[in-house]
Chains A and B, each alone.
Chain A
Amino acid sequence: MKKQINLVAVMLFVIALASLVAAVKLGHGHGGNTYGFSSGG
């Protein structure tokens, strides 16, 4: 039980870090998406 809780916490933390990095950095090229309607959403 103890190991399972640790794994969940670590996974959540990794997801959080990935989300934070995605929010801060700009993607490909300098990397973001171009902002036309057909580009995303």
Chain B
Amino acid sequence: MRRRTRFFLAGVAALVVAAPAFAITSGSIDGNAHPAAGLLLADRGNGPEPECSGALVSPTVFVTAAHCTGKLASDRVWVSFDTRYVAGSSALRTGTAHTDPQWGVVKDDSHDVAVVVVDRPVRDVTPYALPAANALAEAGVATQTFTNVGYGYFDRTFTFDGYRRWSTSSYTNVKPTELRLADNPGGVCFGDSGGPRLLGSTVVAITSMGNPNCMGQSISYRLDTAGARAFLSAFVATP
């Protein structure tokens, strides 16, 4: 191999290997910008522990992802809307989780949606709206910028600091049950599952999955599909 080629290959390799270390999920601490986005906590043997994110869509219904609730030992869970969750001092609201019974059953539809019905109506937070049927199939969606909100990790140190954060993502594509968004300018990471993907104040989808390094395209579960609406309508009015 020629000397010039060797150095070229080594240089490219060094650049590409190094890139993920700098490519974090960009976002900002939320404060009170998105008060209806909350933190889901579950008991895995040590009392309430952060599990996922989610969003209030009625005074009593908090929507989150099925994979956040579907394998819990108990359906009794907690939700916090504090701008920063602090174990032992944050206000917690108790509720009961209901996982879409078709989660993991249907081949082409993950049904990755669940709700928590809180024991007492949340009166101090204005709920987000749910989308109309097939809202994401309409023209013009591809040019929209979506807002992501969650309590997940904010970079690749995978450190939980309790803060609710938000970022924005550009559109990649829409599949029959999924909304796929780029990590540009911001994205999502572990802990953001169930958190809202917003257009205005409408939760058009919820965070579901992505790459293990929290880079690149991420997948959200659409809430405007017939399947999602069929599940949600048992708990909350759908437009």
**Which A residues fall within an 8 A CB radius of B?**
5-6, 8-10, 12-13, 15-17, 19-20, 22-27, 29-30, 32-41
Contacts and interface: CB of A to CB of B under 8 A. Distances in A.
Contact of B17 (A12, A33, A40, A41): A12
Contact of A32 (B65, B160, B209): B209
A33 to B, nearest CB: 5
Contacts of A30: 178, 209, 219
B212 A27 contact: yes
Interface string B149-179: 0001100001010000000000000000010
Given A36-B67, A37-B190, A16 B152 contact: no
Given A13-B10, A35-B192, A36-B68, 18 more contacts: A8-B10, A9-B1, A12-B17, A19-B16, A23-B216, A27-B211, A29-B110, A33-B210, A34-B67, A35-B52, A35-B193, A35-B210, A36-B65, A36-B194, A37-B49, A37-B160, A40-B158, A41-B153
B218 interface: yes
Interface in B57-77: 65, 67-68
Nearest to A28: B209
Kindly name the residue among B7, B13, B67, B153 whose own CB sees the greatest number of chain A CB atoms within 10 A.
B13
Given A16-B12, A26-B209, A34 B193 contact: yes
B102 interface: no
A3 B19 CA distance: 28
A37 B13 contact: no
A26 B219 CA distance: 9
Contacts of A29: 110, 209
Interface of B: 1, 6-7, 9-10, 12-17, 19-20, 23, 44, 49-52, 65, 67-68, 110, 112, 152-153, 158, 160, 178, 188-194, 207-213, 215-219
A9 B3 CA distance: 11
A23 B207 CA distance: 18
Contacts of B10: 8-9, 12-13
A9 B210 contact: no
